[in-house]
Amino acid sequence: MGSRTVALLLLLLLVGIQAQLWEGRGSLGQVREMRRQLAEQQQANNQARQTNERLVAEVQDLREGLDMVEERARSELGMVRPGEIYVQVTPVPR
């Protein structure tokens, strides 16, 4: 009777371990879902990193060179340098 009890106890322990592996905390499904979430977060982080690098480069251009400021002033405000002549071409109506 003792060996049957030990075998039954071991069998129950094995079933409990298998249940934990398939359905419990840290199960295979949960690990798969967390890996998917991790991949999504890494992709979002990479996109944010690229955006940050682009913004840092733009800020550096604005701080160090006036080329960007001049380009924006010319295109958005229509500004010209001293000595330049502003010429506006309008299409001829038909």
Q: Convert the pLDDT of each residue in 8-57 to its tens digit.
A: 898 889 888 887 777 777 777 888 899 999 999 999 999 999 999 999 99
User: With contact defined as beta carbons under 8 Å apart, do 80 and 86 qualify?
Assistant: yes
User: With contact defined as beta carbons under 8 Å apart, do 86 and 78 qualify?
Assistant: yes
Distances (CA, A) of 68 to 16, 53, 81: 67, 17, 15
3-state SS assignment for residue 91:
coil
Give the Cα-Cα-Cα angle 27, 33, 39 (nearest 5 degrees): 135
pLDDT at residue 35, as a whole number: 94
Any domain includes 23: no
Any domain includes 69: yes
pLDDT per position as a tens digit, 13-23: 988 888 777 77
Any domain includes 31: no
Look up the pTM and report it.
0.48
User: Over 80: is that where the pLDDT of 66 sits?
Assistant: no
Any domain includes 52: yes
Domain limits for position 48: 36-80
Task: Output 50-57 pairs: Cβ under 8 A, ≥24 positions apart.
Answer: none
Q: How many domains does the chain have?
A: 1
